[in-house]
Amino acid sequence: MPSLKSPLPAIHPVRDVLKVIFETSGLPADLPAEIECILEVERTFGEADWEAVAEYLNPFDQTTEEAAVVINRALIGALKATPPHPSVSGVQPIANSILQYRLRYRLVIDGEGAESYTTSSTALAWLAGSSYLDNGIDLTGKAYLFQTTKPLSRHYSQNEKILLSILPLSTGTATLAATINFTDGTDQAGNVALGALTANRPVAIYYGIPAVAKTIANIEFTITGLTGTAEKLTYKLISRPAKAQLIYANSLGGFDTLALLGKNESNHTDDGQVFEGQLLDPTAFDEGNFESFNQSSSDSFVLRSGFMGLKEREALKDLTLRNQAYLMDALDLRKLVIENASYQLAKDRDFFYSLTISARFAHINHALSRS
């Protein structure tokens, strides 16, 4: 009977390779032996409604009596992070970015199952991976993780909507402790009750700045009520207002925002084909005898970030490589497709470290449909 050489990791960022090793003993020398492995993932976290998402049939090495199966790509396809909606106040769960999974496996000899399936213990698959700015993810001793790949000390513009993605690493009743620091050296608490949070169940919240009578210098965020060390996230106010704002998925399975301060462009494109076949007679002279069909139209943009720091610019690789981006339109989100992007590193009398994005909406209007 085969067994796992090492237990499944308690939680694994599936954008990093996950290879599991099966081992056995006494393989027949004259017959091919393989491991049949079925990967199952929950449809809903914690409800044990298992669904098979991949099946593998990999050979055993006759010398080592081991077989390897790489499962992270199938797990990536089974996970999906849905952005929190700006029209919803309070805490929103980020469903399906962390789910339980398990393996069912058995020995196959000469194409026939040699035994019944063994079911492994469960583990957590996390829609995350090592970021572009560091070499790994360390959750050791932390109470929570701000799921952001941007610097923990960053700028925000006057009218930017602050989005916080949070991964609790312990269970408890939590509070978002916000300290609003003013330019005159005083401060004010702007705390928000997050309620009961469960370990490894990501949440997000849009933070609304309370009414203040002084000029804000910065806002510092930490979370209390959870066991472990606390991260601090600092937003420093800049005077320029944002002309638009993007929300995009990042490599930690959460969502970041990008305030667009530079000059932006909007374009409209129509497309279609001409049907050259003759129309049935009789046709009126002013109608002609052929017409177009499959007409479509789409809206596209050129978006510019304006100045940003180098570390923040590097973090925006998540925006272009993940390509799950949304334009905030009042209290609605409109999905975009990033067509290309370029980073400006230096130019005389212009912004350094700016980002220019060409994008279009992820829907096209057709002549026969309002989609």
What pLDDT is recorded for position 240? 80
What pLDDT is recorded for position 371? 45
What pLDDT is recorded for position 155? 86
What pLDDT is recorded for position 124? 96
Closest CA to 81 of 94, 66, 100: 94
The mean pLDDT value of the chain amounts to 85
What pLDDT is recorded for position 341? 64
What structural domains does the chain harbor?
Answer: 3-126 (2.60.40.1930), 144-264+299-366 (no CATH)
- Calculate the CA dihedral of residues 57, 126, 255, 54 and round it to 10 degrees: 20
- pLDDT tens digits for 10-58? 999 999 999 999 999 888 878 889 999 999 999 887 777 899 999 999 9
- Calculate the CA dihedral of residues 131, 135, 141, 146 and round it to 10 degrees: -20
Strands 11-13 and 123-126: parallel
- pLDDT tens digits for 190-241? 999 999 999 999 999 999 988 888 999 999 999 999 999 999 999 998 878 8
| Residue ranges for the chain with pLDDT beneath 50 | 351, 371
